[in-house]
A = this chain, B = another copy of it.
Amino acid sequence: MPELRHDPIQRRWIIIATDRARRPTDFTHEKASVTSVSFDPFAPGNEDKTPPEVFAIRKKGSEPNTPGWKIRVVSNKFPALKIEGDLDREGVGLYDKMNGVGAHEVVIETPELTETIATMKENHLALVLKTYRERLVDLMRDTRFRYILIFKNHGSEAGASLAHPHTQIIATPITPKIVALELESARAYYHIKERCIFCDLMKQELADGSRIVLANEHFVVYCPFASRFPFEMMVLPRVHAHRFGESSDEFLEHMAYTLKEALTRLNVALDDPPYNFMLHTAPNINTEPRRANYWETLQYDWHWHLEIIPRVTKTAGFEWGTGFYINPVPPENAAKFLREVDI
């Protein structure tokens, strides 16, 4: 019998479609990693093919915008939002609009085209995570930005237009509705229970065990009860913390081996699938006008996390018309497979 399941944080019903149940090997997709490309604008030596770097981790003595970097952050050459200008909020009859003010940056994770988050060294991945933190903290100084999303599109089927391993950062002048909903759910829960809903979910998942992919001293990774996508994973720090940007170096080193293991398990289980991940941290607390930023006040009940969604199924009219999702793999099966796969 198919099952309807409800996610208490994103307040969404999903359908676990047992009659359409599939095994990991049933999902066909292009391999997300590449071995070569005709031209790589993010390769060392091509620094002049990107906008100038805003941050880099480099070998001592190397000059900005030249080779010698380990990680390099540049503005997106074709930004979705632009850094200059005022918002100029305006009504258009029944509609509303404002200028597309924001930031759109690219974290070039490594000089190597063929490396991925799952295959790079742990200490290099820790540097990538520290780079996320540095950019997040810096962008939060801009009082026009309500939210900063760090996300990754891995593989062209997951929306990556360039193959060289990179993460994107977009700062928006609006708190995104998905984040706002998560903040609201956490607040409503805290209001009644005076406990964090993420902490409670984590406890329930650990006690149940059936959806756990891995659990170490600092992180728990599990397949959500109401997963939208097959093999979806939630990466949750055990400590209650709402701002990723306040993570210590040491904590990000723990995150590095956790994330590497989670993505390695996914890679082996689904044979190098395309995926997205999205880091949900708290909204910016420095915005002006303060009185207008309702969402900022909600953040203290919240718990930062990283969502990983493999892109091996297609969203179609049903999903776009309802907001429901049909998932052909029960998360219990997905977690068991991810847990037991040889890595």
Interface size on A, residues (CB 8 A): 75
Query: Can you list 13 A-B contacts (CB < 8 A)?
Result: A2-B79, A4-B99, A8-B96, A15-B81, A15-B100, A17-B78, A147-B322, A151-B321, A158-B316, A158-B317, A168-B318, A170-B322, A278-B317
Indicate if the CB atoms of A176 and B324 lie closer than 8 Å. yes
* Residues of chain A at the chain B interface (Cβ within 8 Å): 1-8, 11-13, 15-20, 78-82, 85, 92-100, 147, 149, 151-153, 157-160, 168, 170, 172-174, 176-179, 197, 200-201, 204, 208, 225-226, 276-280, 307, 309, 314-318, 320-324, 326
Indicate if the CB atoms of B316 and A4 lie closer than 8 Å. no
Indicate if the CB atoms of A2 and B100 lie closer than 8 Å. yes
A26 to chain B, nearest CB (A): 13
| Given the contacts A1-B99, A97-B4, A321 and B178 also touching, CB distance less than 8 Å | yes
Q: Which residues of B contact A5 (CB under 8 A)?
A: 95-97
Q: Which residues of B contact A151 (CB under 8 A)?
A: 316-318, 320-321
Question: Which 9 residue pairs spanning A and B have beta carbons closest together?
Answer: A159-B316, A2-B100, A278-B321, A151-B317, A176-B322, A276-B317, A6-B96, A177-B323, A178-B323
Copies in the complex: 2
Residue of B172, B280, B320 near A324 (CB, 8 A) is B172
A328 to chain B, nearest CB (A): 9
| Given the contacts A4-B173, A5-B97, A322 and B178 also touching, CB distance less than 8 Å | yes
| Given the contacts A1-B99, A100-B3, A170 and B278 also touching, CB distance less than 8 Å | no
Indicate if the CB atoms of A78 and B177 lie closer than 8 Å. no
Q: Which residues of B contact A8 (CB under 8 A)?
A: 94-96
A225 to chain B, nearest CB (A): 5
A85 to chain B: closest residue by CB: B1
Q: For the complex, what is the distance from the CA of A197 to the CA of B2, rounded to whole Å?
A: 37
Indicate if the CB atoms of B159 and A317 lie closer than 8 Å. yes
Q: Which residues of B contact A92 (CB under 8 A)?
A: 225
Residue of B12, B153, B204, B320 near A276 (CB, 8 A) is B320
Indicate if the CB atoms of B3 and A277 lie closer than 8 Å. no
A275 to chain B: closest residue by CB: B317
| Given the contacts A82-B2, A100-B16, A318-B151, A201 and B94 also touching, CB distance less than 8 Å | yes
Q: For the complex, what is the distance from the CA of A151 to the CA of B80, rounded to whole Å?
A: 31
Q: For the complex, what is the distance from the CA of A100 to the CA of B280, rounded to whole Å?
A: 30
